[in-house]
């Protein structure tokens, strides 16, 4: 999930407490990971705010063109974008009037420059990890409590 056990514990604790998640790159195209994960998060009680520059609606929810268009703070900014796009989203995050608790780059997505920019601001950065898989792990009766 991340490079250290400390980050793993922190991210899992965050998932226990988080309620609002902005999904950047949201789309409800069947068969795509973002669709499956977005629907999973909705089904598990999260408030999901889809972010996409073109789509007007995703999962029956209004879509926001940018993070700056969100109506208020979110706990997690979850990215389904190419790794090279994440630095710009990190800059966009720092321009917000509030701070998310976490900037989460999905499985296969890493951006060290984004991490270096956000961590000093107190934002947990998760790279190359699936938020749905991590949520399932912390809610599995077979997992020890951290």
In DSSP notation, 89-128 reads HHHHHHTSSS--SEEEEPTT---HHHHHHHGGGT-EEE-S
Q: Which long-range contacts (CB under 8 A, 24 or more apart) does 108-112 make?
A: 108/83, 109/79, 109/80, 109/81, 109/82, 109/83, 110/83, 111/83, 111/84, 111/86, 111/87
Question: Terminal CA-to-CA distance of the chain, rounded, Å?
Answer: 15
**Inter-residue contact 116 to 92 (CB < 8 Å):** no
Q: What is the pTM of this model?
A: 0.90
Instruction: For 37-51, write each residue's pLDDT tens digit.
Output: 999 999 999 999 999
CA 34/CA 36 separation, integer angstroms: 6
Place 89 in a pLDDT band, splitting at 50, 70 and 90. very high
The mean predicted confidence, pLDDT, of the chain is 91
Report all structural domains of the chain as residue ranges with CATH numbers, in order of start. 5-138 (3.40.50.720)
Higher pLDDT, 9 or 27: 27
**Inter-residue contact 65 to 38 (CB < 8 Å):** no
């Amino acid at each position: 999930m991340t490079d250290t056990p400390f980050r793993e514990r922190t991210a899992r604790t965050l998932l226990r407490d988080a309620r609002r998640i902005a999904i950047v790159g949201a789309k409800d195209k069947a068969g795509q990971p973002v669709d499956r994960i977005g629907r999973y998060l909705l089904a598990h009680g999260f408030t999901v705010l889809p972010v996409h520059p073109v789509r007007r609606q995703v999962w029956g929810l209004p879509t926001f063109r940018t993070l700056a268009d969100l109506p208020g703070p979110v706990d997690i900014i979850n990215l389904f974008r190419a790794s090279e796009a994440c630095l710009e989203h990190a800059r966009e995050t720092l321009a917000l009037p509030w701070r998310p608790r976490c900037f989460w780059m999905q499985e296969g997505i890493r951006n060290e420059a984004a991490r270096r920019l956000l961590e000093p601001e107190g934002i947990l950065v998760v790279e190359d990890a699936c938020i749905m898989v991590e949520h399932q792990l912390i809610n599995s009766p077979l997992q020890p409590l951290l």
